[in-house]
Amino acid sequence: MLRDSHNRIIRDLRISVTDRCNFRCFYCLPHGEPPLARKETILSFEEIEYAADIFVSLGIEKIRLTGGEPMLRRDLETLVAKIAKLKPQLKDLALTTNGFDIPRKAGILKYAGLDRMTISLDTLDTHRFREITGVDSLEEVFEAIEAAKEHGFEPVKINAVIVRGINDDELVDFALFARRTGVEMRFIEYMPLDSGHDWSRDKVVPGREIFEKINSVYPLELKDASRGSETAWKYRFADGEPGGIGIIAPVTEMFCGACSRIRLTADGQIRTCLFSTVEHNLRDYIRSGATRSELVEFIQHVTLKKEPAHRINEPDFVPASRTMSFIGG
Ligand code: SAM
């Protein structure tokens, strides 16, 4: 079992499979991609599979593939199939994507063993979509959501980063979208992880405000009084309509005390927190020919260094050593 020095059990591994992205979301990659990792530094599928196998043997139950845009990694379904072999110890294999190629690949990903899919969508308006992401792909994202539903990835989760003055006027529209399509809309507070370093506190829309705006139009009921190690408070619509709402408020309602997550970047660095300022080089250790038991010890040792909490709200906050597209959300 992986336990950190604050007695938190780590059950959730996020693996970034690439640092490349085909979107240019202003809250993530506003000025294009920073220099990408050299190809030879990126973990191969076999290395990811080996690392995942070790993590699962140490009690990891959930793996989420992310990026960059994970669907840009060629033949992702091959990696999904390799990791899916770790079930049933691995209980949940998920993907976070901007929807790229999902209409074509949803079936094959399901067949390969993917359990769940989260698709990012920050606006329902075509013009605004281009402004936020830098590309004209709103229709493709809608198609991706439909494809995910058709292939049984229910409930499809949709991530929307809510930023003051950009899309906070769409909260009720998003709730209506959830009711009409049956998806779970998850609203995320804007975090200081953008490569442009343009984040400021006044652009954060607090989770409480998000809840109140939606609740005043479509009354919400909390699904579960405890959220365990989940990031989101989850709500259903009180009138029984389909769909749901999730609110993720890492800035205004920090939930680090219950964190169960650890991350592996595309270039093989372990990160114990989204906001870590140091990383731990698993890749070089694997490539140096370390034995499996040495790698186990390394991972256990690194886990002990997991930070007690992020320091976004502290005066001495130091930004993470890498930005979101490298870390993997
Ligand atoms: N490309 C994929 C996608 O768009 O979902 C996966 C990677 S993306 C980094 C993962 C999630 O992080 C997305 O839902 C995205 O909206 C979120 N994200 C990126 N930058 C963020 C920020 N500065 N604050 C909060 N969430 C952010």
What contacts 231, CB < 8 A, 6 or more positions away?
248, 250, 255
Nearest-CA residue for atom 19 of ligand 1: 28
The vertex-27 CA angle with 60 and 175, nearest 5°, equals: 75
Residues 175-228 have pLDDT tens digits of 999 999 999 999 999 999 999 899 999 999 999 999 999 999 999 999 998 888
Average pLDDT rounded to a whole number, residues 121-127: 98
d(CA 305, CA 282): 15
Mutation test residue for ligand 1: of 69, 98, 159, the one with most atoms within 8 Å of CB: 159
Backbone angles phi, psi at 46, to 5 degrees: -65, -40
Is the pLDDT at 154 greater than 90, yes or no? no
Backbone angles phi, psi at 277, to 5 degrees: -105, -5
pLDDT of residue 228: 86
Question: CB of 123 closer than 6 A to ligand 1?
Answer: no
pLDDT of residue 31: 84
The model's pTM: 0.97
Residue 32: pLDDT band by 50, 70, 90 thresholds? confident
Average pLDDT rounded to a whole number, residues 302-313: 96
329 alpha carbon – ligand 1 mean position (Å): 5
239 alpha carbon – ligand 1 mean position (Å): 31
Mutation test residue for ligand 1: of 188, 190, 203, 210, the one with most atoms within 8 Å of CB: 188
Nearest-CA residue for atom 11 of ligand 1: 329
DSSP 154-169: PSPEEEEEEBTTTTGG
Number of other residues whose CB lies within 10 A of the CB of residue 293 = 9
CA torsion sign for 285, 44, 17, 155 is negative
pLDDT of residue 172: 98
Nearest-CA residue for atom 1 of ligand 1: 69
For residue 14, give the H/E element and its range. strand 12-16
Ligand 1 atom closest to the Cα of residue 122 is: 16
Question: CB of 246 closer than 6 A to ligand 1?
Answer: no
Three-state SS at 79: helix
What are the structure tokens assigned to 248, written together? 């993720």
Of 8, 3, 1, the closest CA to residue 256 belongs to 8
Residues 291-304 have pLDDT tens digits of 999 999 999 999 99
The tokens 């442009």 sit on which residue? 196
Peptide bond into 70 cis (omega under 30): no
